[in-house]
Homo-oligomer: A and B are copies of this chain.
């Protein structure tokens, strides 16, 4: 149980909460091991739980009648999802599937709802987090019109290295290329060709799912020239 509280308090959403509030929120938390392919919920299901990723990867997506999938997001360790459905009787606005096996903690929305109405810090934290996410989406939307396929891939690499805060210029793709392609809004074939072009244009080295960057400078000038923000951004 301490373990769960620890995981919770690592998320910015809950970081600043008092131990007693944290306890309230997590009293009905359950960690579950899930295998790749497992569906957690489907777009339109009544929302009763929200989740925290302890390990593995989750794919949030929606699909049209004819089966075309769009990836909303791919979440990894520490990310929270489903918590925006805290209001009233709500349904999930997307489906969630385990993309890489791992442990997911589920928590009842009702507990969060209670805490939210009682404790202003939770509301403030959630507002802050949601605003950040909104900013990310706006930037993503910008990128879809100003950046080509190769640039979007390179942008992902840059953001990925910045997030990890390590000086290493080696990237190990966190999940397979098909999913990454979908996440970046392109076909696998396009991804493959765009990555090749990126290699030619910037001199990065590619070995399977390991990418070796030479310098961040080279990449950032390749990418960020067609973005409204300067490198390094808070992507």
Contacts and interface: CB of A to CB of B under 8 A. Distances in A.
Interface in A109-165: 116-117, 120, 123-124, 126-128, 130-131, 133-135, 137-138, 140-142, 144-146
Contact of A68 (B116, B185, B226): B226
A64 interface: yes
B127 A228 contact: no
Interface string A53-97: 000000000111110101010000000000010010000011000
Nearest to A187: B145
A205 interface: no
Contacts of A126: 127
Most buried by B among A72, A116, A127, A145: A127
A141 B137 contact: yes
Contacts of A142: 62, 70, 72
A87 B12 CA distance: 15
Contact of A226 (B64, B84, B117, B127): B64
Interface string A12-47: 000000000000000000000000000000010000
A43 B116 CA distance: 32
A227 interface: yes
A209 interface: no
A144 B144 contact: yes
Given A127-B123, A128-B87, A130-B130, A226 B144 contact: no
